[in-house]
Amino acid sequence: MPIDAITKKVSDRYAKAAATGEQMCCPTSYDMTLLRTFIPEEVLNVSYGCGTPAGLDTVRPGETVLDIGSGGGIDCFAAARLVGPTGRVIGIDMTDVMLDIARRNAPIVAANLGYPSSNVEFRKGLADAMPIDDGTIDLIISNCVINLAPDKRRVFHEMFRVAKPGGRFTISDIVSDQTVPQYLVHDAEKWGDCLSGALTLAEYMKGLMDAGFLGIHLVKFSPWRVIDGIHFCSVTLTGYKQPPLPASAAYRYATLRGPFSRVVDEHGTTYQRGIPRPIAAEDTWLLSTPALASHFLLTVDPVRLDAADPRWQAVLPAQTPCTWQGHYALLAGPFLEAADDDQHVYRRGEPLEICSKTLAVLQTEGYASHFAILNRAGRPVGGTTVECAPNGGCC
């Protein structure tokens, strides 16, 4: 299906939904009681998405926030309250009906917030060709929109272009656990349902990294729908654009604390737990980002760790038989690859079947935030217990 045809069909679908009140994509959880205190019902009635806009939790006063696919303006208006009258919010959307609703309500929201004028601007544009100047955005948010763009890699590069050095994104979107087949890709209705355009989690995270973002990690995960054996899920991801760095690093060594026994970061550097490794300024910055900081010890001099050191982290599986219940683990943390203490190697975004013992390990603190867990069984499984392999590896 031609790109222009996809774009028009998606725009027409959302325009129709705005006119009829049809619910699109999957439900989003908002604090409607709070939002109704300053956002008109007309906006709330045309709000679609696939995840709570978690990026708003990180907004700081005075920042410039960009919302890709702003629709009727709900997330822009929520951000307007958080950035304050000195901050700025820009929403971009391709659907005239949505832009009309958002622009009509912008002065009402400003008045309800007690601002002298609106700090929100709505621009018509596409996610893969955003009418935004280079390096001007502190925070990019988006709620179930990028999957609607035919060329997502261009969207990711556009995001990187407009982000300030040191800027960040927090976006919610729909991904799949396997490549979407052509019969769904060419189903126009499924595009509007946030299905046909879905990338796999591996492709999505790689696309963001290829655009230049680093420290990309999972904020929230929720299974959504299963169609012809393909699992579609809502994920919220955060990542960063590297800021200007000092010529030399404040720290010279990094030691992996765990609980992973080995990780490969987004620079392609391998760290073995307990063994110090020399680092440069860009490594210091990356390993200090929120999703990585707790896993590393950064020091001026090399520091080795062993299991007797309280800073060492490990989660060993229970020494009991296990069962296969249909669970698959997808690494969605800030590592390209990671290994646990039971000979499992996880590659970012790729489903790996796991047993009940490994599931218990991945649900512990230190692991849980980095994994999306799916169950492909489709029904309760009362699997026979099995013993672990003689070499100590799980199953």
Decide the pairing of beta strands 262-264 and 214-227.
unpaired
User: Using alpha carbons only, how large is the chain's radius of gyration in Å?
Assistant: 22
Position with higher pLDDT, 31 vs 75: 75
pLDDT, mean of residues 123-140: 97
Instruction: Provide the 3-class DSSP secondary structure of residue 394.
Output: coil
Residue with tokens 């997330």: 75
Q: How many residues does the chain have?
A: 395
Strands 352-353 and 199-200 turn out to be unpaired
Q: Which of 58-62, 231-235, 267-271 has the highest mean pLDDT?
A: 267-271
Domains defined along the chain, listed by start: 3-240 (3.40.50.150), 247-314 (3.40.5), 315-395 (3.40.5.100)
β-partners of residue 352 are 329
Hey, what's the torsion of the CAs at 388, 391, 393, 395, to 10 degrees? -30
* Rounded Cα–Cα distance for residues 181 and 236 (Å): 24
- pLDDT value at 392 more than 80: no
- Predicted pLDDT at 19: 47
Burial class (CB in 10 A: 0-12, 13-18, 19+), 181: exposed
Q: Which two tokens stand for residue 121?
A: 């601007």
The CA distance from 376 to 352, in Å, is 11
CB neighbourhood size of 252 (10 A): 18
What is the pLDDT at residue 299? 97
Burial class of 155 by CB neighbour count within 10 A (0 to 12, 13 to 18, 19+): buried
Number of H helices, E strands in the chain: 12, 18
Convert the pLDDT of each residue in 193-252 to its tens digit.
Answer: 567 788 999 999 999 999 999 999 999 999 988 988 899 999 999 999 999 998 887 899
- Does the global pTM surpass 0.85? yes
Tokens 């982290």 belong to 313
- Separation CA 233–CA 327 (nearest Å): 15
Structure tokens at 378: 């489709």
Q: How far apart are CA 174 and CA 191, in angstroms?
A: 11
Q: Torsions phi, psi of 376, nearest 5?
A: -95, 0
Q: Is the CB of residue 341 less than 8 Å from the CB of residue 314?
A: yes
Could you give the CA distance from residue 145 to residue 303 in angstroms, rounded to a whole number?
A: 45
* Residues whose CB is less than 8 angstroms from the CB of residue 40 and which lie 6 or more positions away in sequence, other chains included: 105, 108, 109
